[in-house]
Structure 1
Amino acid sequence: MFNKEVGMNKTTPLSRRGLLATAAVAAMMPLFVGCSAGGGGGAAAGEKTTITVMTGAQDLTAELIADFESKNPDIKINHIANDPARLNTMLAAGNPPDIAVGGAVGSANVNARGLATDLTPFLEKSSVLKEDDLQPVNDSFRWDGKQSGKGPLYGIVKDWSQDNTLWYNTALFDKAGVPHLSETEAVSYDELLKTAKKLTVKEGGTNAVHGLGLEWGWSLYGPMTAMIKQQGGELYNDDLTKIDFTSPEAQRAFKWYVDFAQAGVGPTSLNPLPDAADFSTFAAERMAITQDGYWFGGNFSGADALKTVKMAPAPVMGNTRVAPTYSGQGWWMPEKAKNKDAAWKLMEYFLGGEPAETRAKSGWGLPALKSLMEKLPQELPYQKNAYTVVQSELKHSSPLPDSPYIQTDLVNTTIDKYLQQAIKNELSVEKACAALTDELNNALAQGKEQIG
């Protein structure tokens, strides 16, 4: 969850997270420990301050830029498209943008390298953004020098979702004679796969209708970690220096993905959708279920939108309901940003002002501020349904572990590498999980050596 930067608000489907090259560049970046947070930069009297902002064009539109500049005539925005490789280059050169976008989950690596600004001094002075108004999802941007979730805040979430929830097309369920999913009770993953098989329609060796989409290219780490937690297991050790896919809980989660792929009920990295995302296929009524967060409902508010869409709780593998956000995209200020005071004004405007309220009303994700939750739309039947599901799912929200010693993109692409081998029966599940564990632990060891 994750990225409306690209349709949703995360980074890009396997360009959103499958960036081995980007991860390698980032891993080689030096540790920057910089000046203090809280001030910085500005133009001389009578001159405009130009702030450079690297975000998705869908977020900071030309209209929003014009509105902000009209309200802040002393500030000009230089907007550049979100590009992780370019950001890494700018950070390494000591000439970063004033604002960057990134996931709260995944920020530990950035924070451990001293690349982000502590926002506490800004929050203490702000009348717009207050720490006690921030949703708990923002805590994944916290860093206490050793782990995320505690300490000062180094970023603020834009909007977010619990990304392992389900959306489905009731018309396709009715056509296949399959009962609708419950609005309150979580389906098991095993039952979900059985249902997906009933909903899948084959024509000429291909799927005319996919029974289930998993947004495979967007995240594997997130849903698998949730599956493991649902069984009472843990993927990492206590200090996040080692990972273990050989546990019974992890192997069960890994095998479910293999079974899903071999059943041929939905897209995988071996059989991807042309646009690498579920929405267009789902909207064309060629996918019965998709595993997506609350944000997905923002697609259906138009007059011509699909009317047979509903939301259901996150499925479970085990006895414990766990519904995390995979990313929680937000804004952060690089430590070496030159115009922090002006950048903070834009953060207040975008994250706590009218744009934030507009996003909440649209249903494109849950707001990052508690005070905006009441703005979520409830006019249309599917919006009422989604609101009910969300209120229940919030009780099962749980942060994902975020090791500072490895980037989430690298974890995702490595999982996918070994899934492909298991799907093709080149490796057994046991051997694939053992090899996956060894490769990721080698990467973690290298990351720990670099960071210290």
Structure 2
Amino acid sequence: MNPEITRRRFLARSALTAGGVATVLSGCNAGTSGSSSNGGSGGTVTLIVMYNNNELTKEHIAGFEKANPGIRIEFIQTDATRLNAMLASGNPPDLVRATAVGSANTNARGLAADLTPYLEKSKVLRADDLLEVNDSFRWDGSRIGQGPRYGIVKDWSQDATLWYNTKLFDKAEVPHLSDTEPIGHDELLAMSKKLTTRSGGKAQVYGLGLEWAWNLWAPIMTMIMQQGEQVYSDDLTKVDLNTAAARRAISWYVDFGRAGVGPTSLDPLPDGADLSTFLAQRMAITQDGYWYGGNFVKEAALQGSIRMAPAPVMGDTRVSPTYAGVGAYIPAKAKHKDEAWKLMEYFMAGPPAEERAKSGWGLPALQSLLPKLPQDLPYQKQAFAVAQAELTHAKPLPDSPYVTNDTCSSIIDKHLQRAIKNQASAEEACKAITDEINQKLKQGKEQIG
């Protein structure tokens, strides 16, 4: 099992089913004094939390309960089906794992509590310390990025950045990527062809991995934004992928698939992720965020040849977004919002947050924690410098409440496959993708109102 792969897959997808049995991960603290607001024993408040147990660990829970003896946590592993049922019944968890990108749907349905009053009073979590990635949890009633805050990010990465293996570059006599200047997508594809090696008609070394199985919609939106164009209509009810910018982005993916320089859904990796292939030095470049560097801490043989590079560009505008931004929200109908906020403070800004920052598994969501990112190893120092410079180009992806990124990615994948197999042109794929996504947007609009 690769916990690293699991973690990244959760970053890319906000609604994965991972088991639905509620599990108490720590003691009941039955001897705590005070009145119980939910019938818990000994006056203890039971806080129901839905999260991933490789992120909010037993140790974190024990630390929180020790610091807050009047609160006991009942833990539920992330389960989209169970969460929907709990929300529908009016008995949601008190704290829920969620991604900032994709939160528009939850906020438009009024399912999350406004955290602004808590932030205004908190001495631990301050609005002026929140990095811009947190703005994707904001919702003003019509769009993200402004208005009240409905969630807090725990960690994130700019997912369009690149990691590469200098040994494979040197072997192919390809110049290394710049630490500061982004490579163009067309140049990147040409480079990937030089880096790809084959034997018996099969790729022995892939030139470029795009984590195709995880996300297509977010990187294509990024490409379009880099060309100075928009994806959605102003009211977020329609998309247009028939524009020149969108056709260029879709055509690039078709060319990538036809070139055979990296995994696609037509040529998938057995484990659905780049990591094992990259670690085996059978992939020269992989498109992954800063978090990816955590994989190399124990890979001494690779550390000297691993480097990070800025997000590639398609156009004149540098855009380097996060595709997810994992965090949490407090449901509007949660029974214990005050206690949930205490856990939010502890998990997002307390010891677990410092621990995450020092580990290098993602960027912290707080400005004050950025200096704690690891720089002990040479590759960590190099990646830190690239990531710091890349922050200047972090921009939020648009987010419609009427469709999910996963739905859009599935639609795109279906039509990319047809184009790659020469069953449709790139232009025909753009039209079909536009029509299908717009139909989903219409259905979503009708459901939400």
Q: TM-score, normalised by structure 2?
A: 0.91
Q: Could you tell me which runs of 5 or more consecutive residues in structure 1 were left unpaired when the two chains were aligned.
A: 23-39
For the residues of structure 1 that align with 2:300 and 2:72, how far apart are their CA atoms? 38
What residue number does 1:7 align with? 7
Q: Does 2:323 correspond to 1:326?
A: yes
What residue number does 1:34 align with? none
Q: 1:56 aligns with which of 49, 52, 58?
A: 52
For the residues of structure 2 that align with 1:303 and 1:447, how far apart are their CA atoms? 46
What residue number does 1:247 align with? 243
Preserved contact between residue 160 and residue 325 of structure 1 (Cα < 8 Å)? yes
What residue number does 1:99 align with? 95
What residue number does 1:437 align with? 434
For the residues of structure 1 that align with 2:157 and 2:109, how far apart are their CA atoms? 27
What amino acid is the match of 2:53?
A: A
What residue number does 2:177 align with? 181
For the residues of structure 1 that align with 2:38 and 2:368, how far apart are their CA atoms? 31
Q: 2:298 aligns with which of 302, 311, 316?
A: 302
What residue number does 2:359 align with? 362
Q: Does 2:217 correspond to 1:221?
A: yes
For the residues of structure 2 that align with 1:437 and 1:131, how far apart are their CA atoms? 38
What residue number does 1:451 align with? 448
Give the drift of 1:225: 0.8
Distance 1:300 1:429, change over 3 A: same
Preserved contact between residue 135 and residue 146 of structure 2 (Cα < 8 Å)? yes
Q: Could you tell me which runs of 5 or more consecutive residues in structure 2 were left unpaired when the two chains were aligned.
A: 19-35
Give the drift of 1:43: 5.6
For the residues of structure 1 that align with 2:183 and 2:284, how far apart are their CA atoms? 15
What residue number does 1:387 align with? 384
Q: 2:256 aligns with which of 256, 260, 271?
A: 260
Q: Which runs of 4+ in 1 moved over 6 A?
A: none
Q: Does 2:328 correspond to 1:336?
A: no
Q: Alignment partner of 1:129: what SS?
A: coil
What residue number does 2:420 align with? 423
Preserved contact between residue 17 and residue 408 of structure 1 (Cα < 8 Å)? no
Q: Alignment partner of 1:415: what SS?
A: helix
Within 5 A, what are the aligned runs for 1:81-160? 81-160=77-156
Distance 1:336 1:407, change over 3 A: same
What amino acid is the match of 1:329?
A: V
For the residues of structure 2 that align with 1:4 and 1:246, how far apart are their CA atoms? 37
Distance 1:261 1:183, change over 3 A: same
What residue number does 1:209 align with? 205
For the residues of structure 1 that align with 2:38 and 2:154, how far apart are their CA atoms? 25
For the residues of structure 1 that align with 2:301 and 2:38, how far apart are their CA atoms? 46
Distance 1:54 1:45, change over 3 A: closer
For the residues of structure 2 that align with 1:204 and 1:86, how far apart are their CA atoms? 48
Q: Alignment partner of 1:116: what SS?
A: coil
For the residues of structure 2 that align with 1:241 and 1:197, how far apart are their CA atoms? 38
Alpha carbon RMSD of aligned pairs, Å?
A: 2.1
Give the drift of 1:203: 2.2
What residue number does 1:284 align with? 280
Give the drift of 1:394: 1.2
Higher relative contact order (Cα pairs below 8 Å, separated by 6+ residues) = 1
Q: TM-score, normalised by structure 1?
A: 0.91
For the residues of structure 1 that align with 2:168 and 2:325, how far apart are their CA atoms? 31
What residue number does 2:64 align with? 68
Give the drift of 1:306: 2.2
What amino acid is the match of 1:448?
A: K
Distance 1:347 1:42, change over 3 A: farther
Stretch deviating more after TM superposition (175-184 or 83-92): 83-92
Give the drift of 1:124: 2.1
Give the drift of 1:5: 8.6
What residue number does 2:398 align with? 401
Distance 1:104 1:57, change over 3 A: same
Q: Alignment partner of 1:325: what SS?
A: coil
Identity of aligned residues (%): 62
For the residues of structure 1 that align with 2:174 and 2:79, how far apart are their CA atoms? 43
What residue number does 1:36 align with? none
Distance 1:273 1:45, change over 3 A: closer
Q: 2:346 aligns with which of 346, 349, 352?
A: 349
Distance 1:17 1:70, change over 3 A: closer
Within 5 A, what are the aligned runs for 1:230-245? 230-245=226-241
For the residues of structure 2 that align with 1:167 and 1:303, how far apart are their CA atoms? 15
Aligned length: 429
Stretch deviating more after TM superposition (86-95 or 409-418): 86-95
- Cα deviation, 1:13-60, whole Å, max 9, x if unaligned, reads xxx3798x99xxxxxxxxxxxxxxxxx955679422111211112101
- Cα deviation, 1:213-251, whole Å, max 9, x if unaligned, reads 001122111111111111111111122111011101001
Distance 1:102 1:321, change over 3 A: same
Distance 1:211 1:44, change over 3 A: closer
For the residues of structure 2 that align with 1:321 and 1:365, how far apart are their CA atoms? 21
What amino acid is the match of 1:367?
A: P
- Cα deviation, 1:423-444, whole Å, max 9, x if unaligned, reads 1222111111111111111111
For the residues of structure 2 that align with 1:179 and 1:126, how far apart are their CA atoms? 50
- Cα deviation, 1:361-396, whole Å, max 9, x if unaligned, reads 111111101111111111211111111111221111
Give the drift of 1:178: 1.1
Preserved contact between residue 290 and residue 362 of structure 2 (Cα < 8 Å)? yes
For the residues of structure 1 that align with 2:141 and 2:5, how far apart are their CA atoms? 29
Give the drift of 1:325: 0.8
Q: Alignment partner of 2:96: what SS?
A: strand
Stretch deviating more after TM superposition (79-88 or 299-308): 299-308
